[in-house]
Amino acid sequence: MIRAVLEAEGEADALPFVGALAGSEGGRDGTDRLAQRAAETLRQILGNNLDAVQYYAQPTPNEAFSLLRSRTEDAGVFILLEGDLGSYHTAIPVDVFRGFAIADDVAPFVVINDQDSTPAWSFTLLHELVHLLLGQTGISGANPGSGVEEFCNNVAAEWLLPAGELNQIEIDLNQDIAEQQKRIGKFARRRNLSHTMVAYRLFRSGRIDQKNFNRLRADFSDWWNRERDRRRERARESEGGPNYYVVCRHRVGEALLWFTGRMMRSGALSTTKAAKILGVKPRQVGELLRPAKAL
């Protein structure tokens, strides 16, 4: 729908980074060169002045994600947070999908499963951006062992946790699993990083073995599921809660809100079509598009 509106308005300009790495050479050397090109293109999309150190400096994982999200939206990508079919009763597990990319060169989308931990959103966003660079539409998470998924994981993990930072973790193969969990957790929390992503980088670098990585990944997942369930229970027991429109705006993202509002003002979008784009009822569109400070 967004592409059709942009074409009708004469604004359907292709984004050069979508599919920029499509059809690149394979092989070990080719993969290394492709990873370097992907990392460089990511820096161009996010801005050369944004790096992992600036990401780490954000006060919370949510603010760190918001920084990456705003830079990516500025580049022309729409980013949605969607992890259920309307309520927590219909939540979609992250082992079904962590995210997916729609590699349209005019209206590219990244959808992130917000059932995952907040630090993991940033990793998924970068992972899906690499899919856009490869020009590939598809779901991530269901087949993590594939070559493409591993490539996207490696590029995203390298941006978030460069080798120089990784070397600061005092961890080795001789430590027991509890000590590894403790050190990874402390390191990850200070940098707004996913615990599992840090463990993945350690595994890829040979600092922990496959057996411990699998155990750490399962333990971190179990911990997050318990924490998420506790938060839901507290939210149900407390009075009030977040404003519906504030939550909806956060899930939809500023880029999609701005686009929809602009096209409605120009007459290119009806309220009914705007509601379909935003995933709300037509009577809710006006309130949703109000400035955040007025909600």
Give the closest residue to 74 by CA, choosing from 294, 255, 246, 285.
255
**According to the model, what pLDDT value does residue 237 have?**
67
**According to the model, what pLDDT value does residue 28 have?**
53
pLDDT in tens, 207-243: 999 999 999 999 999 998 888 888 777 766 666 667 8
CA–CA distance from 226 to each of 23, 206, 230, 231, 243 (Å)?
Answer: 42, 30, 6, 9, 25
Tokens 């603010």: give the residue. Answer: 63
The ranges assigned to domains in the chain are 13-242, 243-295
**According to the model, what pLDDT value does residue 292 have?**
46
How far, in Å, CA of 40 to CA of 88, rounded?
Answer: 38
The per-residue b/e assignment along 237-276, b for 16 or more CB within 10 angstroms, e otherwise, is eeeeeeeebeebbbbbbbbbbebbbebbeeebbeeebbbe
**According to the model, what pLDDT value does residue 235 have?**
67
SS3 string of 38-59? HHHHHHHHHCCCCCHHHHHCCC
Name the stretches of the chain with pLDDT < 50. Answer: 27, 292-295
